[in-house]
């Protein structure tokens, strides 16, 4: 396949895109390119000041862009619900926001922070927005995972990781959950006959703030790819006419194979049920499946 770039993106005029964590990292160039190609973009972020700065930057680069800020804290399910209540249309949902390799903490609702933010917050958001997504022909959900999912393990008896917490293993677990959710969402949409595509991406080693190196942080830009390059898989999955639901894309929009653990339909179905119970989000469109 010829290397895909955002310049290859089809016109997105008339589409509404929500990008979580669009104030920084790969989320910002993702939102920027979608706006550049005509989409109405919602910059969904926790911090209003940073979200406003992202909107201002997009408007500087794309004068007249349709872009707005929406407050969303994925570590707070009440915030997720308030955000979803304010949405009236969505064609593209980019579940991009994430935290990584932090000391053990908990979300407002008492979940281990990486699992609660990276997976449960996005699970709830997708479920709450599902009626709006299925109302839009060709809607897509793109969830940013990572090759770190290959070191993850879902222990349903220790979901809060009160025993044996490790920063990297917890991150890998949350990214495995992202992939399990992505594939299960596609399976359920297909079974229900719903016109919805669910894809996952691995951005590659990217110079973003998800990795904290203290005084060595500036070195990230020397050894790792840019945020713009890291956004390519998400943009490809969200807009390319060649994409099929259930696919997983990596750097330069290369098709990847999820790990065996990520392909487990049994684990995915159980995780779905547990996530629904923990968040209170039922995905009503799939209720009878």
Catalytic residues: 171
How far is C-alpha 179 from the chain's CA centre? 10
Residue 47's φ and ψ, nearest 5 degrees, are -95, 115
The token pair that represents 106 in the structure block: 């908990």
SS (H, E, C) 224-267: CECHHHHHHHHHHHHHCCCCCCCCEECHHHCECCCCCHHHCHHH
Strands (E), 78-148: 92-95, 139-144
Pairing of strands 16-20, 248-249: unpaired
Structure token pair of residue 71: 């407050």
CA distance 259 to 153: 11
């Amino acid at each position: 396949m010829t290397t895909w770039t955002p310049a290859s993106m089809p016109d997105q005029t008339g589409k509404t895109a929500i990008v979580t964590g669009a104030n920084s990292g790969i989320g910002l160039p993702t939102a920027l390119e979608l706006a550049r190609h005509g989409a109405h973009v919602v910059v969904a972020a926790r911090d209003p000041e940073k979200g406003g700065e992202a909107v201002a930057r997009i408007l500087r680069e794309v004068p007249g862009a349709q872009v707005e800020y929406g407050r969303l804290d994925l570590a707070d399910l009440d915030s997720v619900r308030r955000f979803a209540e304010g949405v009236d249309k969505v064609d593209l949902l980019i579940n991009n926001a994430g935290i990584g390799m932090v000391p053990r903490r908990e979300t407002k609702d008492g979940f281990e922070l990486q699992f609660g933010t990276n997976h449960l917050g996005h699970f709830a958001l997708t479920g709450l927005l599902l009626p709006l997504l299925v109302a839009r022909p060709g809607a897509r959900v793109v969830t940013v995972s990572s090759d770190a999912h290959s070191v993850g393990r879902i222990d349903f008896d220790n979901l809060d990781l009160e025993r044996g917490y490790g920063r990297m293993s917890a991150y890998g677990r949350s990214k495995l959950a992202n992939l399990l959710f992505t594939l299960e969402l596609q399976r359920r949409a297909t079974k229900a006959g719903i016109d919805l595509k669910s894809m996952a991406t691995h951005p590659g080693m990217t110079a973003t703030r998800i990795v904290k190196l203290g005084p060595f942080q500036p070195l990230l830009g020397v050894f790792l790819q840019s945020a713009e390059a890291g956004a390519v898989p998400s943009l490809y999955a969200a807009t390319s006419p060649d994409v099929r639901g259930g696919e997983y894309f990596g750097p330069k929009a290369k098709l990847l194979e999820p790990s065996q653990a990520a392909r487990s339909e049994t684990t995915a179905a159980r995780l779905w049920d547990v996530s629904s119970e923990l968040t209170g989000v039922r995905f009503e469109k799939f209720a009878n499946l």
